[in-house]
Structure 1
């Protein structure tokens, strides 16, 4: 089923993101996580795609396994950097063949030592071009999601420019968007206001990253340009040597963040799970009364 159709009939969507595991043991852990999260009845789950297609086959295999062995609606991430259009169409043909109807269309991170000259001459340089390619070749078969960046993409010079790029993706045929993680909701609310003024009216689902390992999240945040408020930094640094307390504080922080988003009319919450279920389940238990 197409995610956009489910979103139209869901008051507040809950969804989860996973990444392709590198080992058999990690894959076993992932599917234990999926089994633990399935009772939460998510609107959809998604599986990421490595830089430059580095997890192409693994992403496809995990998406296929979730599709065939669970009752979950699954969305495959697809990045265009490093792929020719023919390669992209081949990937999409395969997804259509196995019954996948949902794609998250991304430009993708530049692989290490990747140069702009490495982009195939007939490739897509931007996510908007990928969205157009999908629409031109598959019409409405695929529901297409895109990324959005409440604090701007690290390569964008300012938020106004980011809004223009986002609007190009929407005009190309995107159905809905999932945001980059953020830790200060004011950025998200400001972003929504700017989107509305720009005439962007697709559903925009906030991305939530529970902080369970502060050093790890600090690294993620620095790479994607997400701001962690100073008072939050101080709170976590106080318990830098106490993993259990860090996890407890992280769950409390994410719970309050989610409740505030729901109260401000967020249409969904997309959890970056890092292939673990414990923190996400506890946050869900804390906010479930607000989802009714």
Structure 2
């Protein structure tokens, strides 16, 4: 089923993101996580796609396994910067043949090689990938795109950020999931800027419960997400104590999600890192606030 159909009905969306493991052991651990989270009845789950297409076959295999072995709705990530249009069309065709109808269209990180050049005629930006999907598959796919409440690391300012986000929407994006953030004011301000520019697609906040402080510091520095100083001050003294970090991080994520639900966010998308414990604890605490499905 297309995710946008749920969102258009005003249904609150709960979703989880997974990445393709490198080993068979990791894959089995992932599917245990999926089994752990399945009772939460998510609207969909998503499977990431490595920079430069590095997880191409693994992404496809994991997506197909979830699609065939469970009743979960799957959204596949697809990056375009390192692929020819023909390669992209072949991948999209294979997903259509599987019966998968939801795609997250991304540019992807530019490979770090000094001599890297996109293939001739490639889609160099996500809006071009959205166009490619619409031109060749019409409305078969529900197309999601990324959004950045604090601005993409390459954006000089939020005006620039909104301009490029709007291009993706005008090309046919159905909804968006945000980069992780830890200060809800960035999300609310971003949504307000979008509405003023006539961007009215659902924008689902991306949530990352902190269970490893050093890891999240690295992630945040890479994507430009701000960790509130008050949270840093609490976590720094216990940074090498995983249980303490997780306790504080989960507590913080609960408060963050409660605020987003009360302020009418259309859903919550959890970056799980292929683990279930933190997400389950957050859900248990907020489940009473989640709007009932119609």
TM-score range, shorter chain: over 0.9
TM-score (norm 2): 0.97
Partner of 1:211: 210
1:1-292 → structure 2 map (5 Å cutoff): 1-113=1-113, 115=115, 118-292=117-291
SS in 1 for 2:144: strand
**d(CA) in 2 for partners of 1:165, 1:282:** 36
**d(CA) in 2 for partners of 1:115, 1:157:** 25
SS in 1 for 2:289: helix
**d(CA) in 1 for partners of 2:135, 2:115:** 28
Deviations 1:114-133 (A, max 9, x none): 645x2011100000000000
Deviations 1:89-148 (A, max 9, x none): 0000111111110000000011231645x2011100000000000000000000000000
SS in 2 for 1:291: coil
Distance apart, 1:10 and its partner CA: 4.9
Q: Which moved more, 1:25-34 or 1:107-116?
A: 107-116
Deviations 1:22-64 (A, max 9, x none): 0011001000000000000000000000001000000000000
Inter-CA distance 157–141: structure 2 relative to 1 (3 Å threshold): same
**d(CA) in 2 for partners of 1:54, 1:81:** 12
SS in 1 for 2:42: coil
**d(CA) in 2 for partners of 1:67, 1:166:** 30
SS in 1 for 2:149: coil
Note the residue ranges of structure 1 that are not aligned, 5 or more in a row. Answer: none
Deviations 1:205-259 (A, max 9, x none): 0000000000000000000000001111111112112211110111000000000
Note the residue ranges of structure 2 that are not aligned, 5 or more in a row. Answer: none
Q: Which moved more, 1:179-188 or 1:238-247?
A: 238-247
**d(CA) in 2 for partners of 1:10, 1:264:** 14
**d(CA) in 2 for partners of 1:43, 1:176:** 14
TM-score (norm 1): 0.98
**d(CA) in 1 for partners of 2:278, 2:83:** 36
SS in 2 for 1:78: strand
| Matched residue count | 291
Contact 1:7 1:43 in 2 (8 A): no
SS in 2 for 1:153: coil
**d(CA) in 1 for partners of 2:202, 2:94:** 27
SS in 2 for 1:241: coil
